[in-house]
Amino acid sequence: MSHDTTEISRQLRNSGYRVTPQRQLILDAVCHLGDHVTPEAVYDHVHRIAPTLSRATVYRALHFLTEQRILAMVYMAGGRLAYEMAGPEPHHHLVCRSCDGLLELPHSVLLAFCRAMEAQYDFEVDVSHVSFFGHCTDCRDSAEA
């Protein structure tokens, strides 16, 4: 996924925050590394480009960009956290416990379910991101062998 640097910069500046080279590098890294990027992977990537960029800055930027809804947190198998670009439309993941691979799930498949939870349990499901864990075709096939 790509991102609109100009638009994001404007959004941040309008809110009184600053667009620093570090934040841009970190955002580019998440963008470039894909779907479910761990803080450590981001650090490895940006640190090669900017050796003084510290882990603290990576963690702070990931939190910050998530708060600004530019990134979204993704729950991986084993309770680990990762990040990805937050699209305008929420989407969800089927996470394979064996290979850690992700399948994207359009938001529509969850809508009915969420409404049911609301009605039956008076609970507002956070639809910004949901992960389901399990096993993908490939891993099931190799397990059967």
Residues found near DNA in the complex (CB under 7 A): 9, 13, 16-23, 38-40, 50, 52-57, 59-61, 63-64, 79-81
- How many residues of this chain bind a copy of itself (CB under 8 A)? 30
Nearer to a copy of itself, 12 or 43 (CB): 43
Residue 9 main-chain phi, psi, to 5 deg: -60, -45
What are the distances in angstroms from CA 121 to CA 9, 115, 116, 125? 40, 10, 8, 10
CB neighbourhood size of 72 (10 A) = 17
Nearer to DNA, 37 or 130 (CB): 37
Q: Closest Cα partner for 65 from 36, 51, 86? A: 86
Q: Closest Cα partner for 94 from 139, 130, 142, 141? A: 130
Of 3-11, 17-25, 39-47, 136-144, the window that binds a copy of itself (rule: CB under 8 A) is 136-144
- Decide if residue 111 touches a copy of itself (CB under 8 A): no
CB of 142 to DNA, least distance (A): 24
- Decide if residue 113 touches a copy of itself (CB under 8 A): yes
- Decide if residue 137 touches a copy of itself (CB under 8 A): yes
- Decide if residue 69 touches a copy of itself (CB under 8 A): no
What's the burial of 68, exposed, middle or buried (CB within 10 Å: 0-12/13-18/19+)? middle
